[in-house]
Every structure is written in C-alpha cells, then in structure tokens.
Structure 1
C-alpha cells in the first residue's frame, strides 16, 4: 500500500511517499513558512522520484498539529483536496506524536516540545510501551517555565525533543532533563507514513471532511483579529 504523507505543522515542512517496504521518496523544506508554495511541487517531485503516477497512491496521511496555524491549515486542505479528487482514505495524526516517534527507542520518559510562538510551547509526555511510545498526558500549551515545573514534578529521567526544547535547552537541562539533537527536532512525513500505515491496513481511516486541526489554544488568526478589533476601539468579540 502506498501512502502520501504531508507534515506542515512546523517550519520544517516535509512530504514523502512510502509503503510497508519503506520510504520511496521524500522532500523537505528546511526553514520558513512557504508551506503553500512548497507542497504541490514537493508532491510532484516525490511521485517523479518514485516513478509513480498519482493514481498509485492508496491513502493520504497528514499532520493535524499542534503547531503553526497557517501551516496546519495548508497541509490539511491539501490532503482533503487530494483525497476528495482521488476518492482516497485519510489518516490524521498529531505532530507531537510524530515527534515522539522519532525517539521511540529510548527507555525513559519522552517529552515532545514544539515552539508555539508568542513565548509559549506545545508539549506532551510519552512513556515506553510495547512497539514504541504511549502518550500519557493531554496536549498542553504554556511558557517554558511551566514545562520546566512539570519535568521537575515527574521525578523521572526525561528526554525532551523538538524545536521548542532546543530553544529552551538551558532551562530544561537545569531540571535534569536531557535535550535531544537539533537534527531530530521536528516531526516529519516519514514518521507520519510509518505510523499511519497500520491504520490504513486495518481500515481505521477518516473522511477528508472530518479532519480538524489540533489547536490546543485559540487559533493565531482569531487572536490577531480580536487584538485588531481592540486597537480599533471595538471589543474584538466578532465572529
């Protein structure tokens, strides 16, 4: 089964095509917010590199966030459009789960941490489990100091991974936690395909129209609109 993976929740955007036999082709955008300009050429590049027509793709997997508001919306909209046009099943997965998956071989508590902008972070904790990691907390958002307090409270060895962890490494390391390498600091489409394949095989999929971004907090666009309303003398409570 061939799955197209689309990960756009962070500035490190990626696309890949893979199957039960492994990765066939991938493309990545190092840094930046040009998700919309990158996705269509990247998908075409992966198809050409794998020497496959779009009709060979059996399913579309997409990251739902939390992460960059615009990036999540672009990725989900692209996945929905492809799935509708080709009548394909879809699977949506959380970006923090994808990030933790990259650290699945460690035998300690893992904390996935993504930069949430506005001096905040998104995070969740994971424990080793048969076959990988199991999320043991809800998705959370807050300042780095709040995360540091949670790490100190768990009294376990903790590995923090993600761009948010790298950005606040001195603070997190002061709690006794280890901060993972910057080379694996973002969720990627390869992990997305690998994690979604079992769901496609057992037909545990979603309808394209049911995909929803995982915001955790109010979307940046709505917050910006309310701030704009307040600056103009209004309440900022419009729809």
Structure 2
C-alpha cells in the first residue's frame, strides 16, 4: 500500500492529507487568513497523528506547486523540500489546477478550475474525466475573466467552474444579464476550495508511473511573474534607457 502525504498552501486555504490507494486516512483544512508559515507543519503533524502514522511511514510527499499565491506556493515548497531532504523522501509537484479538477473525480461534465490572479484575471485550464482518468484539454493559461467567459459560453457542453476565481466569473455572468447561457455551473463551495486529498490523489497516479522528483529538482509553477519582479523589471528597464 502506497501512502502519500499531500499539502496545499497555494491559496488562502492551508490543507494537508494522507491518502493511499484504498482510503483517505486523514485530512485537515483551514480556510481563513492565518499565516501559513505558522501552521503548515503543525497541520502536517496533526494529520499524521490522526492517521496513526509517522513521517517515516510515508512513501512520497506531494505539494501544490502553483499557480496561485506566490508566498503560499513558496511556503509549501519550502515545507516539503525540508522534509524530503531530511528524510530522503521523493517529492511530487501537482499543478494546483489539476488538483482542483480532482475535487470532482468522475464527473461527466467539463471542469474549469479558476484561480484568482488579481487584475480581473484568472489562471485556468479545461478538463474532462474519461475512463477514470483526468484529461486536460487546454494549456494552463492566464486570462481575463471576461475573455474566459466568452470561450466557455461558446462550448456546447455543461461546464462546472470551481476555485477561488469563481466569484469573478459569476460577476461577469451577472453583467451579461439575459445573454448568459445555462451551460456554466458554479461548484458548491465545499468542492470549490483546494483539498490536500486531491493533491495526494493526483500525486498517487504520478508515483505509480514513476514520475517523482527530489528536493533539488522540484520547481514551482507560477505562469505570471510576481509584482515585485514586474516592478523591478519596469524600474530596471527605465534606468537602462
């Protein structure tokens, strides 16, 4: 039996879980604005205790690698890299959008996870479950919410939208009034937030196929540069002229 420890701190939600092929041992979710750096290791310790396991019983550690909050992603990465280095455990980075799609495993509708990227933009992709496997139909992308909405409304299938970018799309739908179509379905809040069990479930499939990394090779996935990087480049460019 393969045991995966999954964590996700890529958004306001901090969550950890232990999962195997046969069951979800334990999951912990905190959905508020407390600092992830102060609680992530405590959450990990709690799910291990509640699972009746120690970190040595874990076969691999999975982490949501982004896109999402730059600070949250870095906290999650630092957490798993430290554990992996100290305990010689393999790591598996799971795209946060893939993890959200795993929240609704087996659904017959299309899935469109959306992560708030600020500036009326979202990180997104489009998925379908086929033969119990998740198939990604679009590249990962950063897109204006209104532009994404136009693309979704042009698809002649039901599409379930989930993630913390959902309110942005819902506002865009309201602004369209009677032009809005019925093919876009808002996920229930329980299924719309990140879950470490979904990160672990996605990672389990990667582990089975030998797709693992270590503390040196795993990398975050940002899509967009951080505000600090953008401001530095803007300032640097201005000075260079």
- What TM-score do the two structures reach when normalised by structure 1? 0.89
1:44 match? 45
Q: What root-mean-square deviation, in Å, do the aligned CA atoms of Structure 1 and Structure 2 show?
A: 2.1
Could you list the per-position Cα deviations for residues 40-89 of structure 1 after superposition, in whole angstroms to 9, with x for gaps in the alignment? Answer: 11111112222322222221001111111111111011111111110111
1:25 match? 26
- Counterparts of 1:160-175 in structure 2, within 5 Å, are 160-172=161-173, 174-175=180-181
1:112 match? 113
Matched residue of 2:150: which SS? helix
1:182 match? 189
In the alignment, the residues of structure 1 paired with residue 71 and residue 33 of structure 2 have an alpha-carbon distance, to the nearest angstrom, of 12
Matched residue of 2:126: which SS? strand
Give ranges in structure 1 of 5+ residues lacking alignment: none
**Alpha-carbon distance, 1:8 to partner:** 1.2
Give ranges in structure 2 of 5+ residues lacking alignment: 175-179
**Alpha-carbon distance, 1:140 to partner:** 1.3
Provide closer, same or farther for how the CA distance between residues 203 and 125 of structure 1 changes in structure 2, counting only shifts above 3 A: same
Could you list the per-position Cα deviations for residues 127-165 of structure 1 after superposition, in whole angstroms to 9, with x for gaps in the alignment? Answer: 231114311101111221111111123333222111211
**Alpha-carbon distance, 1:14 to partner:** 0.4
State the aligned residue count.
233
Q: Are 1:157 and 2:158 an aligned pair?
A: yes
Provide closer, same or farther for how the CA distance between residues 172 and 178 of structure 1 changes in structure 2, counting only shifts above 3 A: farther
Provide closer, same or farther for how the CA distance between residues 196 and 155 of structure 1 changes in structure 2, counting only shifts above 3 A: same
1:126 match? 127
Judge which range, 22-31 or 94-103, deviates more: 22-31
In the alignment, the residues of structure 2 paired with residue 224 and residue 40 of structure 1 have an alpha-carbon distance, to the nearest angstrom, of 32
Could you list the per-position Cα deviations for residues 103-137 of structure 1 after superposition, in whole angstroms to 9, with x for gaps in the alignment? Answer: 23321221111111232111101123111431110
2:15 match? 14
In the alignment, the residues of structure 1 paired with residue 208 and residue 239 of structure 2 have an alpha-carbon distance, to the nearest angstrom, of 46
Provide closer, same or farther for how the CA distance between residues 119 and 33 of structure 1 changes in structure 2, counting only shifts above 3 A: farther
Matched residue of 1:210: which SS? coil
In the alignment, the residues of structure 2 paired with residue 197 and residue 38 of structure 1 have an alpha-carbon distance, to the nearest angstrom, of 25
Provide closer, same or farther for how the CA distance between residues 40 and 135 of structure 1 changes in structure 2, counting only shifts above 3 A: same
In the alignment, the residues of structure 1 paired with residue 130 and residue 154 of structure 2 have an alpha-carbon distance, to the nearest angstrom, of 21
- What TM-score do the two structures reach when normalised by structure 2? 0.88
- Counterparts of 1:1-239 in structure 2, within 5 Å, are 1-32=2-33, 34-172=35-173, 174-176=180-182, 177-226=184-233, 229=235, 235=238
Could you list the per-position Cα deviations for residues 171-229 of structure 1 after superposition, in whole angstroms to 9, with x for gaps in the alignment? Answer: 247243111112211221101111212322343211221111111111233124456x4
Provide closer, same or farther for how the CA distance between residues 172 and 162 of structure 1 changes in structure 2, counting only shifts above 3 A: farther
Matched residue of 2:160: which SS? strand
In the alignment, the residues of structure 2 paired with residue 107 and residue 172 of structure 1 have an alpha-carbon distance, to the nearest angstrom, of 23
Contact 1:165 1:172 (C-alpha < 8 Å) held by counterparts: no
Matched residue of 2:165: which SS? helix
